[in-house]
Structure 1
Amino acid sequence: MKKRKIELAVLSNIHLGAESCQADALLAYLSSISPKILVLNGRVLETEPVVQAALPSRHFRIFKKLFAMASAGTKIYYVYSNQDAVVRIFKDKSPGNVFFTKNLFLDLDGKKAWFTHGDFLQSPLFSKKWVQGLGTGRLRVLAGMIRFKNKIWNAGGKRPSQTLLHAEADYADRLKKDRTLRQTAVKLAAGRGCEYLICGAPHHLSNLWLETNMGKCQYLSAGDWVQHLTALEYNFKRWKSYRYSEDKLSPFFADEDLKQMNEEEILSKNLKTGISMIG
């Protein structure tokens, strides 16, 4: 079966190493597409203690597939958050054609796209209405302060307090906060001259246009692969939401390149000294 050739695909929260990881479905999806660019927007691996243990073989096949795609010419950008373990694991090694960054800016047919995990947007501060009245300069300062706070929490082995607060909020309150967060995020993106904002932190599929006093911007999220098996695809100058449950054209099959690769080849041939960091 021919693979679908697309310009760009975005996946969020695949959590390799977790029992809930949908590895078989992910391998089927990756085997069905041939993207020029693949963006992994946060949480490729589960927490570091899990990573230190041996990954299940079907999870390791995802790494093999990603390395094979990179070797075939696909540019893979990993947009990581402060809690991601992948960056620590590949601190001194990086697969060729794979890049790590906290913020990714791409030109898509003349329009600027900003890819961010967006974990800093989950702070209770960003859900306040008064924040929407701040200029983009002060919003950037506030975002930087929250990132620094999260980094300190993570260094001490603790999760940021806003994660707990966000989880305990009831559904109606959470929807209200999400709307406020989207407006603030879009304002920040529009102030940077972006027409697309692709955010990984909201764990639900999103594709909508929002307008602020700084301008209009298309707000997108690939959702959560573990929970919903969703992704984003960009092709022919437009964004499309992908749902694995509705895909009737992508039966599971194993690529020949996966059959020809083993763990030793991945670790020795596909990794090179020096991490590729951008942004």
Structure 2
Amino acid sequence: MKKRIVDVVVISDVHLGTFGCHAKELLYYLSTIKPKILVLNGDIIDIWQFRKSYFPKSHLKVVKKLIDFASKGTKVYYVTGNHDEMLRKFSDTVMGNFSVVDKLILNLDGKKAWIFHGDVFDASVQHVKWIAKLGGIGYDYLILSNRFINWCLAKIGREPYSLSKKIKSSVKKAVKHIGDFEAIATDLAIDKGYDYVICGHIHEPKMERKENRKGQTLYLNSGDWIENLTALEYNKKRWKLYQYAEEIQVQEEEYFEFENELTQQLFNAAILTK
């Protein structure tokens, strides 16, 4: 498979270890790119949910793929989030091409990108953590239920439906929270003189020019791999928002069939050499 060379890739909110994680789709996407820099912008592994003892092979393959990137020359930055906050004990740890950080500043073609997860703006995470964790569990089961509903809809030829997006768009507090989050991030970025501010956390992919009386900045949010299946890519001095497309589903299935066939062939060869 021919890989696309990309200067910078940013992904966030993968939530490995949860029922809602689209690990197979993410693994396919990662197999199609060759980034010079890979930024994992928080909530990659959902440590809050480890009590379920749910971590299937597809999730382990994503972890292995991320490690493979670092071993093959890609600079990998793991920016800690709230669901993987235990890793903040290891902030500023560097192991070869792999670094754990709480925030990151990248110089990209003479412009500065300020990258952080975004949970610092969330009062429920900072001050009433048990409510945030309870909400995370509820969200996980909401997504699991939504997957079953969409499976039923697909069987009868109907379009998929997002329960969480419907809730977010209809609840005024949720809409206000997203707006406030973006406003705080962009105002701080403008004050600090950053050309780009890149966040995750709220599961709302976006790329939008923001300005106030002090100046302007480009606000970017990498979205998530629970519902939106999005990533940010920087190449040839331009940012773009990648969206996993249903059209490549066949290619994805062919990729995994090839991978399984290759694994079986290697296994058979190993048996024969014994």
For normalisation by structure 1, the TM-score amounts to 0.70
More helix by share: 2
1:177 deviation in Å? 3.6
Identity of aligned residues (%): 39
Q: Distance in 1 between matches of 2:46 and 2:65?
A: 18
Further displaced range: 97-106 or 45-54: 45-54
Q: Tell me, yes or no, if the aligned pair for 2:14 and 2:43 is still in contact at 8 Å.
A: yes
| Aligned residue type for 2:121 | L
Residue 191 of structure 1: SS of its match in structure 2? helix
Q: In the alignment, which residue of structure 2 is the partner of 1:229? A: 229
Alignment of 1:1-279 (within 5 A): 1-48=1-48, 50=50, 53=53, 55-84=55-84, 87=87, 96-123=96-123, 150=126, 158-159=130-131, 171-245=171-245, 248=248, 251-252=251-252, 253=255
Cα 1:230–1:14 change in 2 (3 A) is same
Report how many residues are paired: 227
Q: Distance in 2 between matches of 1:250 and 1:210?
A: 38
1:199 deviation in Å? 0.9
1:2 deviation in Å? 0.9
Cα 1:76–1:250 change in 2 (3 A) is farther
1:248 deviation in Å? 4.1
Q: Distance in 2 between matches of 1:85 and 1:99?
A: 15
Bigger Rg over Cα: 2
Q: Distance in 2 between matches of 1:224 and 1:49?
A: 17
Q: Distance in 1 between matches of 2:84 and 2:59?
A: 17
Residue 100 of structure 1: SS of its match in structure 2? strand
1:160 deviation in Å? 5.3
1:53 deviation in Å? 3.5
| Aligned residue type for 1:68 | D
Gaps of 5+ in 1: 125-148, 260-279
Alignment RMSD (CA, Å)? 3.4
Gaps of 5+ in 2: 137-163, 264-274
Q: In the alignment, which residue of structure 1 is the partner of 2:144? A: none
1:225 deviation in Å? 1.2
Q: Distance in 2 between matches of 1:101 and 1:247?
A: 36
Structure with higher RCO (Cα < 8 A, 6+ apart): 1
Q: Tell me, yes or no, if the aligned pair for 2:18 and 2:46 is still in contact at 8 Å.
A: yes
Q: Tell me, yes or no, if the aligned pair for 2:17 and 2:49 is still in contact at 8 Å.
A: no
Q: Distance in 2 between matches of 1:44 and 1:227?
A: 14
For normalisation by structure 2, the TM-score amounts to 0.72
Q: Distance in 1 between matches of 2:178 and 2:21?
A: 25
| Aligned residue type for 1:41 | N
Q: Tell me, yes or no, if the aligned pair for 2:233 and 2:242 is still in contact at 8 Å.
A: yes
| Aligned residue type for 1:46 | D
Cα 1:32–1:62 change in 2 (3 A) is same
1:181 deviation in Å? 2.8
